[in-house]
Amino acid sequence: MDNEKLRKALLIRERPKKANAITNTLTFGWRALLKIKYIPEQLLDVTVFPIMFLLMFTYLFGGAIAGSTGDYLQFLLPGILVMTVVTITMYTGMELNNDIRKGIFDRFRSLPIWRPSVLVGALFVDAVRYTIASAIMITLGLILGFRPEGGVVGVLLGVGLLVLFSFSLSWIWTTLGLILRSEKSLMGVSMMVLFPLTFVSNVFVDPRTLPSWLVGFVDVNPISLVVTAVRGLMHGVATSEQIAWVLIASLVITVIFAPLTMFLYKNKK
């Protein structure tokens, strides 16, 4: 009986249907999730680090900057949330760079699949990581006394806007992941860019307390734009202009770096 079934299966000449773009993307997204399953230490940056940052900055600087840790928490949490999530956007590029060095990259390019699915699937899983980090930080903030005046809707809109911006920012690191020769190089470049952008912003202090020559940079800093919009949404005071600037920045970054990434991906030797 088994031989008969095998014979019939071998006689079938109809090719299986080719997987579409959505199926390909979900497959590579599942691959990224399995990496987390077998190497759970990858979640340290979205679990332990957000808790450390929030506790450290709230209780170390809250009294000195705002006179009260409770008051400072209301100002700080949205900023720390943006800083934490933006910092972990580099990991997609690092994973891509790692795949290139191991030769997995060439195997994927030889498959009859929708080419962008390898990258888009990984980026969607990173969006899940960003959401986990946001949920952990907001939950801890509520326990410590964070009270967003924008309510649940404001918090969800703020997190959604942050995840959207972070998704677009990840394209920069995937581009660099295809150019740079090692993941250590990518980490060094990303920190060289993100460190000044996050610290010379409105994450920790009101820009009005800074020197006038520095305020101009802070005002146009994309991290400041995101923090202002997220903070405004969570506290119910965001304007359409603040949100629009973040959407425009996200669109510009994606339009520039997504096609560039795909060009480099197709022509990588």
Does a structural domain hold residue 11? no
Q: What is the end-to-end Cα distance of the chain in Å, rounded?
A: 49
Average pLDDT estimate for 86-96: 82
Highest mean pLDDT: which range of 101-115, 119-133, 203-217, 239-253: 239-253
* Cα gap 112→95, rounded to integer Å: 22
| Gap between the Cα atoms of 223 and 200, Å rounded | 9
Nearest to 32 by CA among 99, 85, 84: 99
* Model confidence pLDDT, tens digit, residues 172-189: 988 888 888 787 888 888
41 in a domain, yes or no? yes
Per-residue pLDDT at 10? 66
By 3-state DSSP, what share of the chain in percent is helix, strand and coil, each rounded to 5? Answer: 85, 0, 15
Cα–Cα distance measured from residue 231 to residue 148, given in angstroms and rounded to the nearest whole number? 9
For residue 248, what pLDDT is reported?
Answer: 95
Mean pLDDT across the chain: 84
Domain that holds residue 90: 22-267
Using alpha carbons, list the distances in angstroms from residue 95 to 72, 86, 170, 226.
Answer: 36, 16, 12, 26
pLDDT per residue over 204-243, tens digit each?
888 887 788 888 888 889 999 999 999 999 999 999 999 9
241 lies in a domain? yes
Return the residue matching tokens 């088994």: 2
- Measure the CA–CA gap between 98 and 6, rounded to whole angstroms: 40
Statement: the pTM of the whole predicted model exceeds 0.75 = yes
Burial of 168 (0-12, 13-18, 19+ CB in 10 A): buried
Residue 5 lies in a domain: no
- pLDDT per position as a tens digit, 245-254: 999 999 999 9
pLDDT above 60: residue 1: no
Q: Is residue 134 one of the residues assigned to a domain? A: yes
**Cα 248 to Cα 89: distance, rounded to the nearest angstrom:** 19
Read off the pLDDT band of 261 (50, 70, 90). Answer: confident
CA–CA separation, 193 vs 156, rounded Å? 28
Q: What percent of the chain has pLDDT over 70?
A: 93
Let me know if residue 60 belongs to a domain. yes
Contact in structure between 96 and 119 (CB atoms under 8 Å) = yes
The stretch 146-153 carries a mean pLDDT of 91
Q: Give a yes or no: residue 183 inside a domain.
A: yes
Name the nearest CA neighbour of 69 among 57, 80, 79: 57
Per-residue pLDDT, averaged over 132-160, amounts to 91
Domain-located, residue 7: no
CA angle in degrees (0–180, nearest 5) for 239-242-247: 125
Q: Is the pLDDT of residue 88 over 60?
A: yes
The tally of domains found in the chain comes to 1
Cα radius of gyration (the chain): 22
14 pLDDT exceeds 70?
no
Question: What are the tokens at 170?
Answer: 């990840």
Sorted by sequence, the CB contacts under 8 Å of residue 70 that are 6+ apart come out as: 62, 145
